[in-house]
Amino acid sequence: MGETEVVRRCKACGKPAALLETAWQHSTWGAQSGYSTDEWRCQDCGADFVLRPWPRLAGLAVAGVLLIPTCMGLPLIGLAWWRWKQDDWNPPVPGAKPPERRFRSGPKPRVCAQCGWSAPAARITAHTHNGLPTGTEYEHECIKCGATFTIESWWGMCFSAMSGSAILAASVAILLFVESWGWKLGGGLGLGAVAAFLLGQVAWRLVNRVRFPEVPGS
């Protein structure tokens, strides 16, 4: 690590020991936006924090303002403020020497179900909708046999489960209360198929977490 690496002062312990772990590059329709979400971790106490670009913070704040009439408005505004303050709470320290890395962020390697060897994460994809996170997919690849599998974040599975449940409720409502057979078959069964896909995907991702456990001690 060169001394040109940026070091930030950790809010948790007060020491200049926080280093950049991962910079998530944002893109729109495949084109780079020039913004990134940066994950930092203190190499002294292990605390971590995330610095987000201002367009994402502004979008979250605007969403909160628009949703003030609902129960979600003020929490979203508070979340936007808390995320914005991370830069002030963990400021860069000019000229600070980068500490030795003791902690690593990111997903742990998992045990390959086919051969039992370690399968580290080969690709990480964070999904968002209008600036709001909807889950993160971790694609792992075995270093011995090359087998690949995908692990979904807990939030991603919760989001899919909530979406699937809402669509399933709409499907049941159409089947029970709409008299038109066209709507019953097209709307009710169509939405039911979408709900089954989403909920089935959640179940499969849960099975993957059991089939491919984290490497012990990693």
CA 151 to chain centre: 12
Strand bridging mode 118-119 / 48-51: unpaired
* Residue closest to 90 by CA, chosen among 150, 17, 177, 147: 17
pLDDT on residue 101: 87
Round to whole Å and give the CA distance between 162 and 135. 12
For residues 150 and 140, the answer to whether their CB atoms sit within 8 Å is yes
What is the CA angle 150-151-153, rounded to 5?
140
Q: What is the mean pLDDT of residues 54-76?
A: 89
Question: Residue 1: pLDDT band by 50, 70, 90 thresholds?
Answer: very low
**Which segments within the chain are labelled E, that is strand?**
8-9, 16-28, 31-42, 48-51, 110-111, 118-119, 121-129, 132-141, 148-152
For residues 45 and 13, the answer to whether their CB atoms sit within 8 Å is yes
pLDDT on residue 170: 93
Helix axes 73-89, 54-66, angle to 10 degrees: 160
Residue 98, both tokens: 């980068």
The residue written with tokens 């979600």 in the block is 72
Question: Residue 131: pLDDT band by 50, 70, 90 thresholds?
Answer: low
Amino acid at 75: P
Round to whole Å and give the CA distance between 98 and 90. 15
Q: 213: burial class by Cβ within 10 Å (0-12, 13-18, 19+)?
A: exposed
Round to whole Å and give the CA distance between 98 and 49. 17
Q: Is the predicted pLDDT of residue 29 greater than 80, yes or no?
A: no
For residues 188 and 169, the answer to whether their CB atoms sit within 8 Å is no
Q: Is the predicted pLDDT of residue 63 greater than 70, yes or no?
A: yes
Percent of the chain scoring above 90 in pLDDT? 59
Q: Is the pTM of this model over 0.85?
A: no
CA 197 to chain centre: 21
What are the pLDDT digits (tens) for 193-206? 999 999 999 999 99
